[in-house]
C-alpha cells in the first residue's frame, strides 16, 4: 500500500495556527503524510504578525529538491511565498519536478489584517505560479486583488471573476466565501466544465486563524489520496466547516484563535 504524500510550500507561523503548521496538521488529520518547504519565518500570534524573515530562494529550492528526490509527492500546496525570488525558485523547481496536482493559495493578508505578500510579488504570482496550478483558492478580497478589481458582491460577479482568473492559466478556481455576508458561507468552484456552488451554514466564531491555509491543504490532501478535484473540494469544505464549528473547544490566545484540526480525534 502506497502512503499518500503531500508537500506544503509556505511560511511558518510561530503560533501554530496557520501556514506550515496548519498545513501539516491538516494533512495528518486527513490521513496524508506531510512534507514541507519553508519560504519564510513569521513572528506572529493570534493577534497579528510582528515580523517576517524570508528564507533565501536557493534554500527554498534545496528543500523542494530534497523532498521530490526521495518522496513520491501526490500533491503540492503553495501558501505564503513572501517575495519575487521565492516565486521564481518555486516555479522553476515545480516545472522541473512536474507534480500532478498543485493547489495555490494566494496568501496576501493574514486573518489579523497584516499584509504577507509584497505588492511587487503579486504580478509574479499571477504570471509564474498561477499557470502551473491545478486549482487556486483565493478568498473574495484575494480574487479581487489578483484582478485589480473591486471585491465581488453578487454571485454573478463572483463567477465572472472566477472566469477571469481561469483565463490567467490555472485549471480551476475555488473562490472562498468566508468573507461574504448572510447566513451561509458559499464557495464557488469554477472550471471549464462550469461552476459548482458549495454552501454551508455560516458559523459564529472569532476563532478562524488558519482557515484559508487549512482548506487549501485539505484540498491538496484529497488530491494526494486520488480524489477528483470536485470530491477533494467537497470533502475539504465539509472538514473545514467541522473544524471551525469545533474551534471554540479551544482557548488559545487572545485574538483570532485557531480552528480545531483534530476535531474528529479529541
Catalytic amino acids? 176, 208, 210-213
CB 20 within 8 A of CB 12: yes
Residue found under cell 480574487: 143
For residue 189, list its beta bridge partners. Answer: 174, 196
Element containing residue 43 per DSSP (H, E): strand 33-45
- 234: Cβ contacts below 8 Å, ≥ 6 apart: 198
What is the DSSP annotation of 6-38? EEEEEEEETTSSSHHHHHHHHHHHTT-EEEEEE
Nearest-Å Rg of the Cα atoms of the chain is 17
What is the DSSP annotation of 101-164? -EEE----B-TTS-B-S-HHHHHHIIIIIGGG-SEE--BHHHHHHHHT-PPP-SHHHHHHHHHH
Q: How far is CA 140 from CA 5, 29, 50, 69, 240, in A?
A: 29, 27, 25, 36, 17
For residue 139, list its beta bridge partners. Answer: 176
- φ, ψ of residue 191 in degrees (nearest 5): -145, 180
Amino acid at each position: 500500500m502506497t502512503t499518500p504524500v503531500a508537500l506544503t510550500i509556505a511560511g511558518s507561523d510561530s503560533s501554530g495556527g496557520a501556514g506550515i503548521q496548519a498545513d501539516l496538521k491538516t494533512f495528518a488529520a486527513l490521513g496524508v503524510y506531510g512534507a514541507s518547504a519553508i519560504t519564510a519565518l513569521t513572528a506572529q500570534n493570534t493577534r497579528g504578525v510582528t515580523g517576517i524573515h524570508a528564507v533565501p530562494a536557493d534554500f527554498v529550492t534545496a528543500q523542494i529538491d530534497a523532498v521530490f528526490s526521495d518522496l513520491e509527492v501526490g500533491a503540492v500546496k503553495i501558501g505564503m511565498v513572501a517575495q519575487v525570488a521565492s516565486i521564481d525558485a518555486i516555479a522553476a523547481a515545480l516545472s522541473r519536478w512536474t507534480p500532478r496536482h498543485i493547489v495555490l493559495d494566494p496568501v496576501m493578508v493574514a486573518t489579523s489584517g497584516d499584509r504577507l505578500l509584497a505588492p511587487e510579488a503579486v504580478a509574479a504570482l499571477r504570471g509564474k505560479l498561477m499557470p502551473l496550478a491545478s486549482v487556486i483558492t483565493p478568498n473574495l478580497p484575494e480574487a479581487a486583488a489578483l484582478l485589480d478589481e473591486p471585491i465581488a458582491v453578487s454571485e454573478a460577479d463572483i463567477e465572472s471573476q472566477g472566469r477571469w482568473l481561469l483565463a490567467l492559466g490555472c485549471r480551476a478556481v475555488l473562490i472562498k466565501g468566508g468573507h461574504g455576508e448572510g447566513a451561509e458561507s458559499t464557495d464557488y468552484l469554477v472550471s471549464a466544465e462550469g461552476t459548482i456552488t458549495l454552501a454551508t451554514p455560516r458559523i459564529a466564531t472569532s476563532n478562524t486563524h488558519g482557515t484559508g491555509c487549512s482548506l487549501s491543504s485539505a484540498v491538496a490532501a484529497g488530491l494526494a489520496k486520488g480524489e477528483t478535484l470536485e470530491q477533494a473540494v467537497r470533502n475539504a469544505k465539509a472538514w473545514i466547516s467541522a473544524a471551525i464549528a469545533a474551534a471554540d473547544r479551544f482557548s488559545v490566545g487572545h485574538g483570532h484563535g485557531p480552528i480545531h484540526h483534530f476535531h474528529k480525534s479529541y
